Amino acid sequence: MEFLDRYQQIVADAIAKYTFKDKPVELYEPMNYIISHGGKRLRPIMVLMACDLFGGDLKEAIKPALAIEFFHNFTLIHDDIMDEAPLRRNKPTIHTLHGINVGILSGDGLMLKAYKFFEDLEPEIFKACIRIFTHTGLLLCEGQQYDINFETQENVTFDDYIRMITYKTGVLSASSFEIGALIAKANFKDAKAIFNFGKHIGIAFQIMDDYLDVFGDQAQFGKKHAGDIYENKKTVLYLMAREHATEEERKELDYWYSKKTDNIDKVYGVEKIFRRTKVDEKALRLIEKHNEIGQSYLQKIDIPEEKKKPFAELANYLLRRES
């Protein structure tokens, strides 16, 4: 998709321009390390796309787009520490290379640098963007805590799971689009519609993440295979498996999820139940459902279809990914 390449280049150029040269290097080099690995840089691209959609000036959106990218990477550093994850994007995680203390500090540094990138916005837009950005950060922390709670919580419902992934993943995509729309001075109705489009695409993206954790190609996914099973994460796969399992299989799931272990038998046993209950097919259908809900919000925006086409293409691209 050519439009994606164009936005990625804009983001890459901006990241290169704002590489940290501050001291102490022990703090800033890890920040540069995670930012330079990049990934697809989807969330800053969402800021730019929404700004473009509503006829805004992309130059005004570049720094806020970087704010979203820096903030996202801050969450990844801390997430990896909490999950004791050895890899991120097929590279060693920061705490693996530099220790937990540096990981915490460099994550904090990225978050604070992110706030500075909003400073050039005019006062009213600045206030609106900072309000959304801060609220998003708090929801993300709540989502992370729910995720941690679920590891030891016996009864996790499907609604609990959807709330958790909405807070942990959905709102960051949603807010990225909304901030881009606000910078372009979109009206309230359209800004909320693009927010809801992003929210449901973000939910679908997280369900795909859960799916790929077990059913994806480990080399392409860039994370430890079945890490969620090792960590006792009650993902959508677990919840759907439990719903459709036999009593004996439920007891086996309860047994494995009562202990945190790297035992390969655990992964083998849980995966076997996942496959028998066809949770892979069910998860893919749920992904499609949220994609359709997201697309319905996109249709509510009163802008020519041609301008909305890249958003539908982006959603379909994200949900067909292999990594």
For 102-155, give the DSSP string.
HHHHHHHHHHHHHHHTTTTS-HHHHHHHHHHHHHHHHHHHHHHHHHHHHHH-S-
User: pLDDT exceeding 70 applies to what percent of the chain?
Assistant: 97
Mean pLDDT of 48-65: 98
86, amino acid identity: P
CA–chain centroid gap for 311, Å, is 17
pLDDT in tens, 262-292: 889 999 999 999 999 999 999 999 999 999 9
Query: 323 falls in which pLDDT band (50, 70, 90)?
Result: very low
pLDDT at 321 over 80: no
pLDDT for 203-252, tens place per residue? 999 999 999 999 987 666 556 789 899 888 899 999 999 999 999 999 99
